[in-house]
């Protein structure tokens, strides 16, 4: 389990399942300080976690959450090309 920014507890399996169903092995960890419906990267960790948070309008992919996912042993840090902007961004890759 990981604890989100708003205190909600979410199983790591939620992120792994989303990635498996989406056919991706890496996910962008950048967060946006906007409401959920103004979020521009619907496939980011931040957006995915918001759908499981009590407060969907609060950024959830904080450094603390990313650290918890890394500590789970299922991920390692990576740099990846953002599917939205094409820029290189920080992300998590499945081990």
Q: Mean per-residue pLDDT for 72-80?
A: 97
How many Cα atoms sit within 13 Å of 9 on the Cβ side? 1
Q: Mean per-residue pLDDT for 54-78?
A: 94
In 10 A of CB 36, how many CB atoms? 17
Q: In this predicted structure, what is the pLDDT of residue 41? A: 77
Q: In this predicted structure, what is the pLDDT of residue 39? A: 74
Q: Encode pLDDT of 12-38 as tens digits.
A: 999 999 999 999 999 999 877 777 777
Lookup: tokens for 81: 């090309």
What does the mean pLDDT of the chain come to? 91
């Amino acid at each position: 389990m990981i604890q989100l920014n708003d205190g909600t507890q979410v199983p790591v399996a939620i992120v792994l399942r989303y990635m498996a169903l989406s056919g991706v092995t890496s996910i962008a960890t950048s967060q946006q300080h906007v409401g959920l419906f103004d979020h521009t990267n619907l496939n980011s960790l931040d957006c995915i976690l918001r759908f499981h948070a009590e407060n969907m309008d609060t950024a959830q992919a904080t450094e603390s959450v990313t650290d918890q996912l890394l500590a789970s042993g299922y991920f390692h840090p990576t740099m990846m090309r953002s599917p939205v902007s094409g820029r290189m961004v920080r992300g998590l890759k499945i081990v």
